[in-house]
Every structure is written in structure tokens, then in C-alpha cells.
Amino acid sequence: MDTEHARPEDLAMLRAAFDTGEPLGWEAVRAFETEHGITLPEPYRTCVAEIADGCGFGPPDYGLVPLAELPDDWGDDRPVRELAKPFPLTEMWLWEKDDIPDDELGPTLDPVFDHGSIVLGTDGCGMYWHLIVAGPHRGHVWNICGEGAGPFGSEFGFTTGESGFAGWVRHWVEGKPWSDAM
């Protein structure tokens, strides 16, 4: 996945999707990246800097959260998020179906929720959408919830949508359900 340059057609779609948004600006985006030791994947990076830093009407259902924020239901007792540490997964994992004891599962899950990603927003009920910013899946969008985690994109199954931030937003703009290939 090419995350170094935003495609003009993706930026045009993002401008139309978030036409009422307020951008963060390049200086603030670069400061965030420096603070966390990352470079945001395109086209999300340009979207936040030039188009909109968050959006109250979606995607996801409860809106796209601003870059430096977390959804209201994230919780205050969570571990510190470490964006520069690689996101640990490369394929779907339904830990709800694993026989891992709870005392071992918790420390294994913390990096899934808190390493190598920014939280784009929530669909409620503990279902969060993450943009991976570090690791092999950099640039991909993942849905992470209490039962498991899986990447968004037709090559991973469950959806006809193109992977990555632009594909995820385009899928929402077109009014398609997230799991439209089931």
C-alpha cells in the first residue's frame, strides 16, 4: 500500500466528504508526528492538515475524532498509547474464541488497542476504528472491539471496500454497510 503520496482522486473525495470540516494545519500535524515519533499515512495526513481534523457526522457512526483525541467512551483507566510501537497484528484475531486465560489475555490485548495506531472513532458498544501508523499494516484501517480485531479492505474479506483511510471513507460515503461482502 503506497502511503507516501495522496492520490488526487482520494483528496477530492475527502474534500467532498468533509466539506464543513476545520483542518488542523501542517504545523500542528508535524508537531503531533514529532511528539509521537511517527509520520501519519496518506491521505489521512493531508486530510487532517488541509481538509478536516475530525467530523461530527462520521465516519464512523459517532463521528471521526480529531487527531489528538479519543472517543468519549474510550475510558480513563487505559494504558498509555504508544503510537511509534508497531501494531502487533497482521491478520484478523477473534480472541473471544481463543482459550487464553483472562490473566494472560489482558497484557496481550493492550498492544492491540494501544500500539501503532490512532483511533479514528467508534461505532459504539466498544467498537473502535483504528488507522495503523506503525508496523506491517501501516496505512490500513482496523476495527477493534471487545471480541476481536480485523482489517478493513476487500483483500481481507467481509467487505467490498478498498483498504486504507480513503477506501474506508469512500465506503461510508457510498452508504455501504461495513461488512457488505458477507
DSSP secondary structure letters along 104-170: HHHHHHHHHHHBSEEEEEEEETTEEEEEE-SSTTTT-EEEE-SS-EEE-SGGGSS--SPSHHHHHHH
12: cell is: 477530492
Q: Do 32 and 66 touch, CB atoms closer than 8 A?
A: no
- Checking if the pLDDT of 2 tops 70, the result is no
Residues whose CB falls within 8 Å of the CB of residue 116, separated by 6 or more in sequence, listed in order = 82, 83, 84, 85, 86, 87, 88, 132, 133, 134, 135, 138
Q: How far apart are CA 91 and CA 177, in angstroms?
A: 21
- Checking if the pLDDT of 46 tops 60, the result is yes
| Burial status of residue 159 (CB atoms within 10 A of its CB: 0-12, 13-18, 19 or more) | buried
Question: Mind listing the pLDDT tens digit for each residue in 53-83?
Answer: 999 988 998 999 999 999 988 888 888 899 9
In the chain, the percentage of residues whose pLDDT exceeds 90 is 76
- Checking if the pLDDT of 96 tops 50, the result is yes
